[in-house]
Amino acid sequence: MHRAVRTSSLAFLCAGFTLGLPVAAAAADFAQVYQDALANDPTYQQANATYMAAREARPEAWAALLPQISGSAGRSLQHSSGLSTNIGASTATGAPIPSSFYARARTNARQWSLNLSQELFSWTDWMTLKAADSQVAEAQATYQAAAQNLILRVATAYFNVLAALDTLQAQESSLKAFDLQLEQANKRFQVGLIAITDVEQARAARDTAAAAVIGDKQALANTEDQLEVITGRQYDTLSEPGNDMPLVTPSPANQNQWVQTSLQQNLTLIASRLAADVARDNVRIAFGGHLPTISLIASRSYNSSSVDESIVGIGSFNGLPSWTNDRQIGLEVTVPIYSGGGTEARVHQAQYQWNN
């Protein structure tokens, strides 16, 4: 959508501008300048990056509604040794006597697990997905508005350079005329036809025109700098519109109809409406903090170990096996009971932001 808006607007402007352009091999036309602006204008590049980032809101929202799968695996080796003392009864007298033994153990264990969770009901996540749609649409409208604004800024800077150049050329022609008047005044003064005051007046007029030329040169340099900020390039010459360039009047020539069209199609206004939709959805998202969530939980895990144990005075036992294979499936219902008033505060905050 943004590409169509940008292309159609540029095509309309360039079609009218290029009609009647004089042929100039070294002159840059508006289409070339606009392409440079697309690649280098920082404001437009920022809008593009913001739009591309906003587009990720929808897959992020979908991710919370899709199955969540995680797994783990591990292997461990453990060695332990120590002295253990027990109290037992004498077989002859029945009196308690202590007995001690020293043992060493070496355990080799492995484990893996796989966990799955799927939300069956979550008001917050569904409202987040709905809000993400509005966020992406708002970002797209804002980006399209930035693309249209780029055309306007490029055209303004482009024609400001041409206007400043025309003003400078006119002022230089005026300076030449004042130079000629000063030269004529000096000759007439030399033959006694005019007074010295007339010569000084002609000189003052010439100096004023010279100062104006300097000011116009500075104004031209400023407009060229403004164009360079947008395009990132300097241009030796720019193509000028010819005498045959058509001046197309608005159709229809009805102010009220254009106002109604702008109310429906103005991208900045559309973005504002979508921002209001996002704010309304945020209220619903915050309200979801009061509602329960239902999830399907499934998991499987496996643990195995092999123990080598040696007891001094008794013997060694190698490769004592142990393993477990667990499976689990169930429904989990989470009910928010009390969160210190945080959920209610978030709802109120979202409502105020919506009303703002």
- Give the CA distances from residue 58 to residues 53, 64, 138, 152, 310, in Å, rounded to whole numbers and listed in that order: 11, 10, 13, 31, 60
pLDDT on residue 264: 86
Contact 74, 55 (CB under 8 A): no
What is the CATH classification number for the domain harbouring 36?
A: 1.20.1600.10
Question: Which pLDDT belongs to residue 302?
Answer: 93
Residue 220's H or E segment, with its range, is helix 196-231
Domains of the chain: total: 1
Domain of 263, in residue numbers? 2-87+96-355
Taking only the tens of pLDDT, the chain with its 356 residues reads: 334 334 444 444 454 444 444 444 468 899 999 999 999 999 999 999 999 999 999 999 999 999 999 999 999 998 888 877 777 665 566 667 766 767 788 889 999 999 999 999 999 999 999 999 999 999 999 999 999 999 999 999 999 999 999 999 999 999 999 999 999 999 988 888 888 998 899 999 999 999 999 999 999 999 999 999 999 999 999 998 877 878 888 888 888 888 888 888 889 899 999 999 999 999 999 999 899 999 999 999 999 988 888 877 677 778 788 889 999 999 999 999 988 888 889 888 888 888 87
Answer whether 0.75 is exceeded by the pTM. no
What span, in angstroms and rounded, lies between the C-alpha atoms of 138 and 142? 6
- DSSP letter at 290 equals G
pLDDT attached to residue 122: 92
- pLDDT at position 26: 64
Confidence (pLDDT) at 251: 84
